[in-house]
Structure 1
Amino acid sequence: MSERSLRGTQLGSRSLESEAGVEPAPRQLIEYVCEDGHRFTVPFSVEADIPATWDSGTHGIGERVGIEKPEEEEGKHVRTHWDMLLERRSFEELEVLLDERLKIRRGELPPQV
């Protein structure tokens, strides 16, 4: 079997296909600028949705040149445990419950089941 192997061709690491006749997809170069003035370009497909910001990798986040600054998207309000609790009970009810639980912890009232 070892007589029939192709020695020295590195078949596992190199492709024997050529790039003849292969045409890459049409691209456009989009320019971004960082806060420190660093300018860089990123190639995108002509059909791609172009983001307003892009991370340069070394200088931070760059904003796209030639467009207005994107509006800040209003994030979804995250409901906390306290918010959900206030939806079910009033603040006065919570004060009464807290006082009752503190008296139980202090031993002033017997524990409720």
Structure 2
Amino acid sequence: MNKLLILFIIPLLFSCQEDDEVQIETDVIGEWEIVARYADPGDGSGSFQPTTGKFLTFSNNNVLFCNQGFCFASLTQATTTGSFDDSNKTITTSDCDATYSFNGMFLEVSYLCIEPCIERYIRVN
């Protein structure tokens, strides 16, 4: 009986697999769409809130294009062009300077403002 039990258990162990692998991004080149913005009322209790409408495009020649104001989009709807340095993960625009990093499938862009300003993007292409 124990031998039969073992014969049934061994195939089950090898048949289980993880189908929900999280994609980990490492290459910034391409188009990214904003999905969340960090909002903090000033007491450290902030969280990421869903948002849409902002796109970043990172080109092979280190040029960044944004379809609205890069850091203060709510203040201006003008498009923004800037540059980025992939070796130190920095972005420079006329609006402000920023840094970026990868967090799993997200590109996170951080820049200085009154409270922490962090935006999360997902790859479009």
Fold match by TM threshold 0.5? no
Compare the two structures and name the one with the higher helix fraction. 1
Normalising by structure 1, report the TM-score. Answer: 0.22
Q: Which has the higher contact order (CA 8 A, sep 6+)?
A: 2
More strand per residue = 2
Larger radius of gyration: 1
**TM-score, normalisation: structure 2:** 0.21
